Each structure stands twice: as C-alpha cells, then as structure tokens.
C-alpha cells in the first residue's frame, strides 16, 4: 500500500504504511494473527501490550516501552465482557477503533489484534480463578472481575506467545495478579510495568475520565492529592496505616468524595498492612466521581 492510498482498520490482515516503519497489520482473527507471527517466533522478541482500546497517552507510553524492548510489538484491543459485572459499563465503555488504529500506527506498532470475540461460542466453558489476591480492593467490589481479566490475558498469551507483556501501574492489583499468574502457570513471559501517566493536576489518565463533566473533573484531581497527602505524612513521621488513611479520607470529604476503598497494602501480595517500615507498601484508592469509577495508587516504600 502506498502512502497515498486510503486504509480502513476493518481490513483483516491489511498492511498499512507508517512513517518511519515498514508496515502495521490490523488483524481480527486468531488464524491470521498466528500467520503474521509465525516467522517472528524464535527469531525476534515479541512484546504484547493488552488494552481495551480508547487509547490515551498512558497506553502510548506502554507501547513505547514495548518498542524499546522488542523487535515485534503487538497491541491487542478487546473490551473483555468477562471482566464487567451486570451493572457495569460494558455496553457504554468508550470505543474508538479509528483513533486507536491511527495512534498505533504513529507509534510503530507492528500488529493490532482486534478480535470480535476471544471466546468459543461467545463464552468459555473453562476459566481461570484468582484466589486471595482478588478478594480485596477492586476485587471485593467487582466479584469475578479478575477471573475475567486472568482468563482473557491467558488466552492472549497462548495465542500470541509473547516474550514480554507490558502493563500499566495504574491498575496495580491487575499487574500483581498477572505477575502471580505467570509465576504460578510457569509461563515463559517477562511482565514489564509502565509508570502511571497523569494529567497536569495528577489525575491518572483513564479511558473513563471522559465520563467526567467540568465540575467533576476538578473534583477528581483530589484523588491523587489525597494519596500525596498520605505519602507526605508518612515521610514526616506517621507510620500508622489507619492514621494515614484517616487523613486522606478527611481530605476527600472536604472535596465531596467518598472513596469506595482507601487502603495501604503490601505491594506484591496485596495483604493489608498495619504499619509502614516493613514490606514494600502502596496506598490504593477507588472512588466514584459522577458516573466514573476511578482508581489510583502510589508507592509509600520510599517514605518508610
């Protein structure tokens, strides 16, 4: 395809020209994807960046990291129905495949995998179950969510067989669970994390931020500020986790935000911590602002 020809992201397996790169392939089927990757396996390092689309700068930062670490970069775009509850926003979850395709091309992605359905006959009969690590934080408020995440990611790993997979730190619980899944299932994949990318006021970039109106968007900035407040107090002297959480909750109350959860937990095992100064600690928060459920977390390890 020449640079003057028009392209559509709906063309299965169609190659598109990218400035500075040879081609990028938009693939919708497992068979087609495996055909494109056949020559790469054993020769090139393959990196996967799993996404649900509606790409923003946070996703692009993960793609750039993958580009530095691997010869072939695959971005999956799939809004996974298994990780949405019956009252959650699966139907309304933002989708923008045209913009996603353009963003991937601009970043030099080799393959965009955008399946209509990952599961045979609509729903898998066999799924993964996440124990213990899914019983807290988002998992306790979204039953079955991480089972759906683990099942979909494991399917992607089996189809693509990447050497590297890159996940964002904003979804830290997901990151920790995927690392444990890879260890428990002896998968030959290196899990690499990418730092949370933030707006100018600190709000973590998220596809759900577009749900916020102007007033809600201003309030949402206090989510990160509350985490920073915890880190500042921890650095000064306060090592009691309940005390740190209370400080942050009072701050959020002044900004009319009632968090779904606000906790300090072990960064690797996700076990609840009582005091700082021992295992690596992170502060986690989820809060509903308007119609948007927003999550964030920061490390407190440097403050212990």
* Rounded CA separation 104/113 (Å): 11
Spell out the CATH class of 207-303: alpha beta
How far is residue 225's CA from residue 242's CA, in Å, rounded to a whole number?
Answer: 18
Residue 23: band (very low, low, confident or very high) from pLDDT cuts 50, 70, 90: low
Instruction: Between 15 and 265, name the one with better pLDDT.
Output: 265
Burial of 260 (0-12, 13-18, 19+ CB in 10 A): middle
Q: SS in 3 state form for 16-54?
A: EEECCEEEEEEECCHHHHHHHHCCCCCCCCEEEEEECCC
**Which range among 6-10, 59-63, 93-97 shows the weakest confidence by mean pLDDT?**
6-10
Domain limits, the chain: 14-194, 207-303
pLDDT in tens, 219-258: 999 999 999 999 999 998 889 999 999 999 999 999 999 9
What are the catalytic residues?
59
Q: What average pLDDT does this structure show over 164-193?
A: 98
| Contact criterion met (CB below 8 Å) for 285 and 226 | yes
Q: Would the pTM of this model clear 0.85, i.e. be above it? A: yes
pLDDT in tens, 77-113: 999 999 998 888 899 888 999 999 999 999 999 999 9
Mean pLDDT value across residues 33-38: 95
Is the CB of residue 219 less than 8 Å from the CB of residue 295?
A: no
Confidence check: pLDDT of 68 > 90 = yes
Instruction: Assess whether the region 14-194 and the region 207-303 belong to the same CATH fold.
Output: no
Q: What percent of the chain shows pLDDT beyond 70?
A: 91
Report the alpha-carbon distance of residue 257 to residue 301 in Å, rounded: 26
Which class would CATH give 14-194?
alpha beta
Mean pLDDT of 154-180: 98
């Amino acid at each position: 395809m020449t640079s003057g020809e028009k392209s559509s992201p709906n063309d299965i397996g169609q190659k598109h020209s990218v400035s500075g790169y040879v081609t990028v392939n938009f693939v919708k089927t497992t068979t087609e994807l495996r055909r494109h990757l056949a020559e790469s396996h054993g020769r090139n390092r393959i990196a996967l960046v799993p996404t649900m689309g509606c790409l923003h700068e946070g996703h692009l930062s993960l793609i750039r990291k993958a580009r530095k670490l691997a010869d072939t970069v695959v971005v999956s775009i799939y809004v996974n129905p298994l990780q949405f509850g019956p009252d959650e926003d699966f139907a309304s979850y933002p989708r923008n495949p045209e913009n996603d395709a353009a963003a991937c091309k601009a970043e030099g992605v080799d393959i965009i995998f955008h399946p209509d359905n990952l599961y045979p006959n609509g729903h898998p009969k066999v799924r993964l179950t996440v124990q213990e690590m899914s019983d807290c934080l988002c998992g306790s408020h979204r039953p079955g969510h991480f089972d759906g995440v683990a099942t979909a990611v494991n399917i992607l790993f089996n189809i693509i067989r990447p050497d590297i997979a890159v996940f964002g730190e904003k979804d830290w619980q997901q990151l920790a669970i995927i690392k444990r899944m890879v260890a428990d299932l002896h998968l030959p994949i290196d899990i690499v994390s990418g730092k949370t990318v933030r707006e100018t006021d600190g709000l973590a970039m998220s596809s759900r931020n577009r749900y916020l109106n102007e007033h809600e968007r201003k309030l949402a900035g206090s989510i990160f500020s509350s985490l920073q407040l915890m880190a500042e107090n921890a650095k000064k002297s306060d090592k009691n986790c309940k005390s740190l959480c209370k400080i942050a909750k009072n701050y959020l109350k002044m900004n009319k935000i009632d968090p779904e959860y606000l906790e300090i937990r072990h960064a690797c095992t996700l076990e609840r911590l009582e005091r700082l100064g021992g295992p690596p600690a992170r502060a986690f928060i989820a809060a509903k602002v308007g119609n948007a459920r927003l999550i964030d977390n920061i490390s407190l390890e440097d403050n212990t």
